[in-house]
Amino acid sequence: MLRRPFAACLLVVSFGGVLPLKAQSEVLSRYRQDESVARVEIGSVRSVGRRVDSRLYLTEREAVELALENNLDVNIERHTRLARQWDIRLGEAAYDPVGTFGFSWDRNRTPAASVLQGGASVTDILTDYTFGYRHPFRMGSSLEVSFAGNRNRTTNFFSSLVPAIHTRFDVTFRQDLLKGFGKAEAEYDIELSRNNVDLSEQEFQRLAIEVIAQVQDQFWELEHSLKDVEVKQKSLELAETIYRQNQARFEVGTASRLEVVQTEAEVASRREELIRAQFSYRRVQDQLVKLMTSHRDPREFLGDIVPDASAVDSSRDPEPFDHLLQLALELRPEIRQSDLTIANRQVELRRSRDKLKPSLQLVAGYQQFGLGGTEIVRDFSQGFVNPPIVAVNPGGLWDSFSQVLSADYYGYLVGFDFQIPLGNTEARSRNAQAQIEINRARLQKEAVQQSLGLEIRDTLTQIEMNKARLEAAEAAVVAARERLDGEQARFEVGMGTTRELIEAQRDLLQAESVVVRARIDLINSQNLLDKAVGRTFRRYNISLAEALSANIR
């Protein structure tokens, strides 16, 4: 009894032709397999820099490039854009066509209260099946096509067709004429999703710039640590030289035991300072390796890092404030994010205005009908109770199909569905909130612009201060070196004391350390200016599109 409806289902599914087995498998896979997606995969750290023995000479640019490739935070953020792109597909899913199939089987036996009901009791076996197709469109309209049929087998002797097969074909068109006219609800979500993809790209750039700034800071801290180790090593060597001189003088009786002990204590103190400087270098290098790689153990890196600072010019002067601020307003990702946030709020405002309208829907349809089945002819001349069957004319489902396709039996439908919320409180509230959110987003953009101005001004102040510190420190080194030369000469002729010589050494070494610190701080403040202006990517010729697509497989 179920074979004919099932055959009809096959006809509808294969209306466009029989699909090859491979194509059928691909179609069915979307309902039972994970979707194929792009993935972020971090490879092994590529070889960079210049290796000399166990040391790796690395430039600032190479450190930045490694961080963009391997930093875990950067690679995590790459997933955000991939996920936001699927939000667009999610919005477009509202326009996916939908196919439906329904089937039911119902058997009822009811007692008869009247002879006109066709027997003492009547048994009906009703089989219903429906096939449907619905396709929404971006203009706020939809098209529905359906084919329905039912097969009724009954013991009612008044029924002429047993079983009676009814078929029906419907086409219905719906169009919103006010709310949603010309733009379906999903279009707002799609527009928001596209803006959110751009937002995720700007957020990636903002995060990448933050990571680059950390790499720059640790890179130059490593340079400072190495210079500090050199200074401490030189300091220890000088103290050991004085110690040997005092030991020799003590042996010949020209120096006291106190002077020997004094220099011996100084050697121990400077050796301890050297050890701390060496471990400080190791800790800073570990931080830098963490930023540049995905290693769990930073000691897995290619070798001990030696910053190559030969190509860095710390003497460059910054541009005027107004020029830098204008450049920041063009380049900073936070400005672009503010613009996209305002654009999203405007989309929400347009949506809220659309929802203020009443709903007026046009409905138009067309139907075709068919009827078929085995015709039973009875002789009612002897009465209406159990009339004898005088003829049986065969028929069935295909007769019903033929009538549907012939369009001899048809109908039309035209109508309107009008709904108006009398208070419209919810829509008005949403509209008010949308207006408020736009005003807030605009003020937030002004706040970002103000923060950028302060950040640029503060960085310019730091550059000016660090330049002055560097000049003062270099002058102090010259004075400290002259004093040390004088104390060394006095010491060698027996006119100076060990303490005075040690103090002169310490003053010179301290002045040299201040010069190194001031030079590193000046370079860092110049890097911070690039970050404040938003030209970090431009400085390293980094393409946002290429940075986003890196490591995506």
Are both 181 and 226 inside the same structural domain?
A: no
Both tokens assigned to 145: 């096509």
Which region among 199-208, 390-399, 482-491 has the lowest average model confidence (pLDDT)? 390-399
- At 256 the pLDDT is 82
**pLDDT above 70: residue 10:** no
**pLDDT above 50: residue 531:** yes
**pLDDT above 70: residue 308:** yes
Q: Which residues pair with 40 in a beta bridge?
A: 552
Are both 227 and 334 inside the same structural domain?
A: yes
Please indicate, yes or no, if residue 323 is contained in any of the structural domains: yes
> What CA dihedral angle connects 500, 505, 511 and 517, to 10 degrees?
-140
Q: Give this prediction's pTM.
A: 0.85
**pLDDT above 50: residue 126:** yes
Are both 208 and 272 inside the same structural domain?
A: yes
Which region among 287-291, 308-312, 475-479 has the lowest average model confidence (pLDDT)? 308-312
R_g (Cα) of the chain, nearest Å: 43
Please indicate, yes or no, if residue 263 is contained in any of the structural domains: yes
Please indicate, yes or no, if residue 510 is contained in any of the structural domains: yes
**Of the residues 423, 439, 472, the one at which a domain ends:** 423
Are both 244 and 342 inside the same structural domain?
A: yes
**pLDDT above 60: residue 2:** no
Q: Is the peptide bond preceding residue 163 cis, with omega within 30 degrees of 0?
A: yes
**Reported confidence tier of residue 15, pLDDT bands at 50, 70, 90:** very low
Q: Which residues pair with 366 in a beta bridge?
A: 171, 412
Are both 77 and 104 inside the same structural domain?
A: no
**Reported confidence tier of residue 19, pLDDT bands at 50, 70, 90:** low
**pLDDT above 90: residue 201:** yes
**How many other CB atoms are there within 10 angstroms of residue 255's CB atom?**
18
Q: pLDDT digit string (tens) for 90-119?
A: 999 999 999 999 999 999 888 876 666 667
**pLDDT above 60: residue 6:** no
Are both 526 and 500 inside the same structural domain?
A: yes
- The label of the residue with tokens 């006109």 reads 116
- The label of the residue with tokens 């068919």 reads 370
**pLDDT above 50: residue 148:** yes
Are both 266 and 366 inside the same structural domain?
A: no
Whole-number percent of the chain with pLDDT over 70: 93
Please indicate, yes or no, if residue 94 is contained in any of the structural domains: no
- At 4 the pLDDT is 37
Please indicate, yes or no, if residue 138 is contained in any of the structural domains: yes
Task: Please give the full DSSP string across 386-417, using - where no structure is assigned.
Answer: SPPEEEEE---HHHHHHHHHHTSSEEEEEEEE
Please indicate, yes or no, if residue 5 is contained in any of the structural domains: no
Which whole number is the average pLDDT over 315-331?
A: 92
Cβ neighbours for 492, distance < 8 A, ≥ 6 positions apart = none
3-state secondary structure of 425: helix
Could you tell me if 153 and 197 are in contact, meaning their C-beta atoms sit under 8 angstroms apart?
Answer: no
Q: pLDDT digit string (tens) for 434-449?
A: 999 999 999 999 999 9
Please list the helix, strand and coil fractions of the chain in percent, rounded to the nearest 5, in that order.
Answer: 60, 20, 20
Q: pLDDT digit string (tens) for 440-482?
A: 999 999 999 999 999 999 999 999 999 999 999 999 999 988 9
Q: pLDDT digit string (tens) for 325-346?
A: 999 999 999 999 999 999 999 9
**Reported confidence tier of residue 59, pLDDT bands at 50, 70, 90:** very high
- At 5 the pLDDT is 38
Are both 470 and 342 inside the same structural domain?
A: yes
CATH of the domain at 327: 1.20.1600.10
Q: pLDDT digit string (tens) for 399-429?
A: 888 888 888 899 999 999 999 999 999 999 9
**Reported confidence tier of residue 487, pLDDT bands at 50, 70, 90:** confident
The residue range of the domain holding 342 is 50-83+187-348+428-538
Please indicate, yes or no, if residue 45 is contained in any of the structural domains: no
- At 223 the pLDDT is 93
Are both 326 and 197 inside the same structural domain?
A: yes
Total domains in the fold of the chain: 2
Both tokens assigned to 169: 């074909």
**Of the residues 377, 402, 423, the one at which a domain ends:** 423
Conformational region of residue 383, where left means phi above 0, alpha means psi within -120 to 50, and beta covers everything else = left
**Of the residues 389, 423, 457, the one at which a domain ends:** 423
- The residue length of the chain stands at 553
Are both 202 and 313 inside the same structural domain?
A: yes
Are both 295 and 342 inside the same structural domain?
A: yes
- At 52 the pLDDT is 86
**Reported confidence tier of residue 18, pLDDT bands at 50, 70, 90:** low
- At 180 the pLDDT is 86
- At 263 the pLDDT is 86
Please indicate, yes or no, if residue 196 is contained in any of the structural domains: yes
Q: pLDDT digit string (tens) for 31-41?
A: 888 888 899 99
Could you tell me if 550 and 543 are in contact, meaning their C-beta atoms sit under 8 angstroms apart?
Answer: no
Are both 337 and 372 inside the same structural domain?
A: no
